[in-house]
Structure 1
């Protein structure tokens, strides 16, 4: 079954890339500035034994070469978040880069390339592995070096636990102890947060907000806009399988699919399968070609009532994480994306 789903997803990606590639050279000046951006998420670099979280260096170099084209505007994520929250326009094709987990390959492989290209990025760290000087991870000296060079340091908790599966008091300890360690080591507390594994629930999200973070990031696919939840912002994850240049161009040129009244409101599922639905903002125009794809079932059956979309699953979602991506052809053959990651505990 998984092989069939993988084949189906590959076919869908191929179609998207083919349609996008046919009009790729459209001029950036044809698009008006808007409060939208794409955030890219990397983890490991050239660590082939971990292909699901690693990117090959030839892939990464091709990404950087693409981003150096005049088409794109790469900004620090802190600046993107501020402008989105202030409902200010961003430059066309705004891109932000994030890297999770502070693996040593970030410092040894990615950092020299990003430094040479003068590309800003945010590094999200869990403090325990750094404190333990765990094999394969960066040291505090290396993190301070990056911070001194302008890299933004964000938090990914103390020990990178599955936050919805532990008590809220333990979540508080994970956040507060990480903030204290980061502040002590680099001289400032983090403003940005990334949920470990992209997992959160309503209580965890509220806690992140109450702790004074300016934004928090998931691992749901999509472009962010000023209608996005600033404490559940999407990112496009890149790895060996999904790191080819055609797929990279597809996501780097993505547009938001603004939605509201999303159900279920909490991605940590109580009802399984979920009664998943949302309303597409009227600014988008026609939604006749909107489609939703599940990581477990492929294309989902949709029920439509005006601008309301209800997606129907054929079976229960399996234990763990499941993703749904909803896409719609946008202007100039760019694609609009709205993604969500559900979590099933048992």
Structure 2
């Protein structure tokens, strides 16, 4: 049990025609369908984030070859393209939502592409997808002061609980950024486990608040995907994935600056 290494796949957008802000970290619908078929062919068993953490916490049984399928942010293509594929295979998955990006009453206008609405999030939850937190406005949490950090976490948790009627227990750090202070705040906010990036396989020894994931990109082909889930293609892609994550943050900050400038002129 202690030596088990679990691939946690990190997806963002699943879209046929993503915009420039999400293109690098999006996956084409056809590619996602092929990847999920490969997960089945390889004999992997998708489970939820809470299930993995609970198994490791208690020492209870897990499937022989577990894998986690996770989505960050809350893009509309998760409902349109990913959900039918997951349902076809009977696969579990986890969606980490930035509540201020989901279309509806709490929308802050920060989403980088077409986002889910709360009705779609509810449908995903009703289909067995675990819904976790991903902050409220998707900031770099380690750059926030204590009060703002706490607000980002509690606001996210409360909105998910209000919309779904279920308190989320899993969290994913925006951009994968965390620190000891951020991890402590996530725990104090009531989340039982949290995912980073790291581009490595998850291990029990990482602790429940720093479980690593591997990035699936638009250019991830079938052979590379197979190497990823087997832990054989991670090291060579780490530097590239880190650059992509930083570029993603820069794009978002640029959009925020432009939006504030437009508002100031109105």
TM-score, normalised to structure 1's length? Answer: 0.62
The separation in 2 between residues aligned to 1:186 and 1:199, in whole angstroms, is: 27
The separation in 1 between residues aligned to 2:180 and 2:54, in whole angstroms, is: 23
**Which has a greater percent of helix?**
2
**Which has a greater percent of strand?**
1
The separation in 1 between residues aligned to 2:127 and 2:203, in whole angstroms, is: 28
Q: Which residue of 2 aligns with 1:68?
A: 40
* Alignment equivalent of 1:143, drawn from 121, 124, 128: 121
Q: Which residue of 1 aligns with 2:185?
A: 207
Q: CA deviation at 1:64?
A: 0.9
Any residues of structure 2 matched to 1:1-20 within 5 Å, and which? Answer: none
Q: CA deviation at 1:132?
A: 2.3
The separation in 1 between residues aligned to 2:27 and 2:33, in whole angstroms, is: 10
Gaps of at least 5 residues in structure 2 are 248-266
Any residues of structure 2 matched to 1:89-100 within 5 Å, and which? Answer: 89-100=61-72
Indicate conservation of the 8 Å contact 1:87/1:226, yes or no. Answer: no
Indicate conservation of the 8 Å contact 2:73/2:101, yes or no. Answer: no
Most deviating of 181-190 and 64-73:
64-73
The separation in 1 between residues aligned to 2:237 and 2:39, in whole angstroms, is: 28
The separation in 1 between residues aligned to 2:14 and 2:108, in whole angstroms, is: 19
Is the counterpart of residue 132 in structure 1 residue 107 in structure 2? yes
Q: Which residue of 1 aligns with 2:174?
A: 196
The separation in 2 between residues aligned to 1:216 and 1:157, in whole angstroms, is: 12
Alpha-carbon spacing, 1:58–1:294, altered in 2? closer, same or farther (3 Å): closer
| Larger relative contact order (CA 8 Å, sep ≥ 6) | 2
Q: CA deviation at 1:294?
A: 6.7
Q: Which has the larger radius of gyration?
A: 1
Gaps of at least 5 residues in structure 1 are 1-31, 256-290, 297-316, 323-346
Alpha-carbon spacing, 1:208–1:33, altered in 2? closer, same or farther (3 Å): closer
Alpha-carbon spacing, 1:115–1:292, altered in 2? closer, same or farther (3 Å): closer
Indicate conservation of the 8 Å contact 2:9/2:68, yes or no. Answer: yes
Indicate conservation of the 8 Å contact 1:35/1:84, yes or no. Answer: no
Indicate conservation of the 8 Å contact 2:69/2:92, yes or no. Answer: yes
1:226-284 CA distances to partner (integer Å, 9 max, x unpaired)? 2122101101110112x2111111111128xxxxxxxxxxxxxxxxxxxxxxxxxxxxx
Tell me the secondary structure at the aligned position of residue 127 of structure 1: coil
Tell me the secondary structure at the aligned position of residue 41 of structure 1: strand
The separation in 1 between residues aligned to 2:101 and 2:237, in whole angstroms, is: 36
Q: CA deviation at 1:90?
A: 3.0
Tell me the secondary structure at the aligned position of residue 68 of structure 2: strand
* Alignment equivalent of 2:239, drawn from 288, 292, 295: 295
Q: Which residue of 1 aligns with 2:223?
A: 246
Q: Which residue of 2 aligns with 1:115?
A: 87
Q: Which residue of 2 aligns with 1:228?
A: 206
Tell me the secondary structure at the aligned position of residue 70 of structure 2: strand
The separation in 2 between residues aligned to 1:149 and 1:215, in whole angstroms, is: 22
Indicate conservation of the 8 Å contact 1:34/1:91, yes or no. Answer: no
Indicate conservation of the 8 Å contact 2:95/2:130, yes or no. Answer: yes
Q: CA deviation at 1:91?
A: 2.8
Q: CA deviation at 1:36?
A: 3.1
The separation in 2 between residues aligned to 1:109 and 1:205, in whole angstroms, is: 32
The separation in 1 between residues aligned to 2:144 and 2:3, in whole angstroms, is: 39
Is the counterpart of residue 39 in structure 1 residue 16 in structure 2? no
Q: Which residue of 2 aligns with 1:302?
A: none
